[in-house]
Amino acid sequence: MTITAASMQKDVYKEFHSRAYHPEVTQVYANYTSRSSKLSNVDNNDKVAFVGLQYFIKSYLQDEWSAFFNADKATAVANHKRIMSAMLGYPVCVKYLEDLHDLGYLPLKIKALPEGTLVPYLVPPLTIVNTKEGFQWLTNMIETVLSCENWPIQTSATTSVAYFKVFREFAEKTGLPMDFVPFQGHDFSFRGMFGKHAAAMSGFGHLASGSVGTDTIPAVLFAEKYYGANVEEELVGCSVNATEHSVTCSWIMEGEIEFFKYLMREQSPTGILSVVSDTWDFWTLVTDYLPQLKDEIMARDGTLVIRPDSGDPVKILTGYKVSPELGFRTQQEAEDYAREHGYEAYQWNGNYIGFDEDEIRILIACEVKGLIECLWDIFGGTTTEKGFKLLDEHIGAIYGDAITLERQRQILQRLMEKGFASKVVLGIGSYSYQYVTRDTHGSAVKATSVVKNNERLAIFKDPKTDTKKKSAKGLLKIERINGELTLFDNVTEQEETEGLLEVIFEDGRLIKETTLAEIRETVADQL
């Protein structure tokens, strides 16, 4: 029998460390911290969403290590010794693992802030320490996997919180009903993620922010498995009936009007129906086919959602910014003025001339207006208490391609400037959730204290070649000062027992459990 050893979820060089620590060191205390916003994917970001620890505890510290402890000792260490000996080129000594097997549990204690806490940079959301002498090597042996399994979820959750905050901001500004906000950011990232497990982890980060729109089924399964969610009792994640290009193309002989009728009459007569709408000629569909289908759409018990899937999402949804006619003598003067003043099109001889990078072309009227205004012209709607136009409940729009945080704000800002409430759904894809690294928030695990020769000793790193990598020092305590989480380092052992960090895991047991619902509530309380 071969055990897939939890002990090998580490960098190779960690194998040497059980022998390399000072012989008199009996305890190692470390922390996980996001250190810097220098490479953050969120502009002006000052906090990182702490999410994912309970998953790490359940999946790795408990489930994976249980196989090690449940096997007989020889079997438990055999594959570890075989692999490590081959990689290092000498017979490795596995007595330290045999001693751990004899102990029968992981002698570790993890203290942490509540999951869902938005944590300032340089403030550690968790600390970890070995609880028994002789296992000082264990704290930092798991550093690699602790980092690997935690930074992606936190980074996705931080990105999702950023999207959520902007949706909420514009809902407040334009009078969009706030109960629509959790549905505005829809997770479309599954196909672009680095494997299905990465999709589940990241997708859970998306859900943790309070967003509920998702097509990533593994994220919902993840929430149920690790965070006490139950789709039969709460809204964990949701989606709608929707098409893709292959489905539309199957109607190539009959055409899109017949396709829409078939969907609305026979397959989805009620509820939300999202139809990808740019398989062929998007603007013809908007200006010709939708008016022909208006009566049927308005009579339907539900919302028909139009989904463009190509082009510049800002311009497709909100149209072009067109410079005014100011009596220019030549077309070149009109174009130069438009470019100089940040417009995207200009008027000349009764035409709208648009330019996208090096392409200059005549625009049709619907392109200048954008989808939302075109839908308003066809279907109308109501006006919010803030005085902004709100599309009729029978029609909506979603854009799921090439969305970024920058484009999200541009879309909502431009809709507001045109007098529209921010009633639009944006699909958030793998660019937002995977175009990141551990360095995005500078996340790292560092040891800051040891017990050596029975005395507490503060340790730290302070590279002269990079002062930004300076670590905290000694034992740590987190307090909230003037409303902000604040780190106090080099505190006494008594002070370390105080503060906001709570024991979450100790000696193989999950001490305090949290749920997705509680995480969402924690996030909401901080927005």
The percentage of the chain sitting over the pLDDT mark of 70, rounded to a whole number, equals: 98
**Quick one: pLDDT band at residue 464, thresholds 50, 70, 90?**
low
Q: Which pLDDT score, from 0 to 100, does residue 237 have?
A: 98
Q: Which domains does the chain show, CATH number per domain?
A: 155-434 (3.20.20.70)
234: pLDDT strictly greater than 80: yes
Backbone angles phi, psi at 431, to 5 degrees: -60, -45
**Quick one: pLDDT band at residue 314, thresholds 50, 70, 90?**
very high
- Laid out side by side, the sheet with 270-276 consists of 185-187, 425-428, 395-399, 301-307, 270-276, 241-242
Per DSSP (E only), the strands in 46-204 are: 47-49, 108-112, 118-120, 126-130, 185-187
Contacts of 402 (CB under 8 A, 6+ apart): 312, 313, 429, 431
Q: Which pLDDT score, from 0 to 100, does residue 4 have?
A: 61
Q: How far apart are CA 101 and CA 104, in angstroms?
A: 5
pLDDT digits (tens, 9 = 90+) for 143-169: 999 999 999 999 999 999 999 999 999
pLDDT digits (tens, 9 = 90+) for 103-139: 999 999 999 999 999 999 999 999 999 999 999 999 9
Give the pair of three-digit tokens for residue 268. Answer: 């989805």
pLDDT digits (tens, 9 = 90+) for 297-311: 999 999 999 999 999
Residue 236 per-residue DSSP state: -
Residue 439 per-residue DSSP state: G
CB atoms under 10 Å from CB of 86, counted, come to 10
Q: Which pLDDT score, from 0 to 100, does residue 1 have?
A: 45
**Quick one: pLDDT band at residue 82, thresholds 50, 70, 90?**
very high
88: pLDDT strictly greater than 70: yes
Contacts of 358 (CB under 8 A, 6+ apart): none
Q: How many helices (H) and strands (E) does the chain have?
A: 21, 22
Q: Which pLDDT score, from 0 to 100, does residue 466 have?
A: 66
Q: Which pLDDT score, from 0 to 100, does residue 395 have?
A: 98
Q: Of 42, 126, 140, nearest to 409 (Cα)?
A: 42
pLDDT digits (tens, 9 = 90+) for 168-205: 999 999 999 999 999 999 999 999 999 999 999 999 99
CB atoms under 10 Å from CB of 349, counted, come to 8
| Cα–Cα–Cα angle for 75, 78, 82, rounded to 5 degrees | 160
Residue 101 per-residue DSSP state: H
CA distances from 286 to 170, 370, 521 (A): 26, 10, 40
Give the pair of three-digit tokens for residue 95. Answer: 């007595």
Q: In the predicted model, what is the mean pLDDT of residues 45-55?
A: 98
Q: What is the mean pLDDT of the chain?
A: 95
3: pLDDT strictly greater than 60: no
Backbone angles phi, psi at 26, to 5 degrees: -115, -10
**Quick one: pLDDT band at residue 467, thresholds 50, 70, 90?**
low
Q: In the predicted model, what is the mean pLDDT of residues 398-409?
A: 95
Q: Half-sphere exposure of 140 toward its Cβ, with a 13 Å CA cutoff? A: 24
